[in-house]
A and B are shown apart, each in its own frame.
Chain A
Amino acid sequence: MTAIAKRWTCVEAGCDYKLVAPDVVSAIEGAQRHIAEAHSSFELEEMIEDVLEDVPAPDRG
């Protein structure tokens, strides 16, 4: 069975940052860190959680 990870894509104008995290909590943390550091702004957790996509987890081997 393929392990599933969570992908979030930033939609700030001119930004194409994507992150893949092992679970919802770390995806939210990573997205909020990106918005704060790259755009001096904030994103609410529901707004991140609701648009997370399921992707195959990266091969750690």
Chain B
Amino acid sequence: MATTVRQPVDPNVVRKFHFTREMIEGPVYRKYEKAIRKGWSVEDLDFAQDAKDWNRIEDEQKRGLLGVTVRFLAGEQNVTDELIPMLAASHALNRFDWIVYLSTFLMEEAKHAEFFMRWHERVVGVLEPEEVAQHFLVRGKTIDPRGRFEVRDVLHEALPHYGRQLMEATMGGAEAEIERSFVAFSAAYNAFVEGVLTMPSYEIVIDTTEGWNAFPALRKGFRLILMDEGRHITFGTYACKLLIKKDPSYEDEVHRVFDAYRGNIVGLVEYQKAVPGLDLNKYQTMKVRHYRNRCREMGITPDETLIEQILDPSIDFVVGVEAG
């Protein structure tokens, strides 16, 4: 044990140290510990059976599956690329526990991108951007025929937009502006994209590969990624909860983000129709559960009109259907 006699110390020296007992017992630091404990490696997955399955399935099944996996390949690269504003803002807000946790978050996003890169390389035989881009389903080609909703590319439009806003606030240095922009960014990244929009897609892949009795490595990879995503999502919603508790007006930022990209959540996603035999209603109902859960985690009131629209069977347009 260290000496029990405490000498006065220079506050400038004290500021060089960040760990506290309260921090290491807190929920964010526990997520960091869990991430370290639950680490996994793409190289431990065996893609041999998936490659055999790829060679035996029909062309229509290949198109349906690639529509999902290529979108994940692009999406995971994008979320890896767009996380830096959150790290910079956490530094500006003196949240060392958030930075420690985000170090695992960023590594995991890079690993998820690696998983999809390896799966496409070893199973489908494509890797270069020009090869995989041919299978990317471009959204926005199909819009709500009644013109009620606009469909936008939330991953490649919203994340850079809210990320830029957060970086500018961080550089500006005004704490309240950083906090407000953090909530908007996290609402887009953790709550909207990771926490609601993508969740049915994971289940679609798992349900599809189980239904086909094929692609065990793809299914295992999705399950491993989901375990990581559970921490990412709840880190973001927990951070939002803390900030909204400090200033309840930040709740408006969350609703503004969900409202701006409402059409993407209300509509079906293309792979729900691209893969035959799926229970489409299940995935819409699930979106409501995840939306309510994210609101509950953030301590905010859900937008009931959004819930009604997701569940409205007359709103059944499909988001995006054209490849390449």
Contacts and interface: CB of A to CB of B under 8 A. Distances in A.
Interface of A: 10-14, 39-42, 44-47, 49-51
B240 to A, nearest CB: 12
Contacts of B288: 11-13
* Among A10, A14, A42: residue with most chain B CB under 10 A: A42
B237 A50 contact: yes
Contacts of B203: 41-42
Contact of B293 (A39, A40, A47): A47
B261 interface: no
Interface string B233-260: 1100110000000000000000000000
Interface string B167-204: 00000000000000000000000000000000000010
**Interface bracket on B:** 20 to 34
Given A42-B203, A44-B227, 4 more contacts: A13-B288, A47-B234, A49-B234, A51-B296
Contacts of A13: 285, 288-289, 307, 311
Nearest to B307: A13
B282 A41 contact: yes
Interface string B21-50: 000000100010000000000000000000
A11 B289 contact: yes
Contacts of A50: 27, 234, 237-238, 297
28 contacts: A11-B289, A11-B292, A11-B296, A12-B285, A12-B288, A13-B285, A13-B289, A13-B307, A14-B285, A39-B289, A40-B279, A41-B203, A41-B286, A41-B289, A42-B203, A44-B229, A44-B230, A46-B230, A46-B231, A46-B233, A47-B230, A47-B233, A47-B234, A47-B293, A50-B27, A50-B234, A50-B237, A51-B297
A42 B31 CA distance: 20
Contacts of B297: 47, 50-51
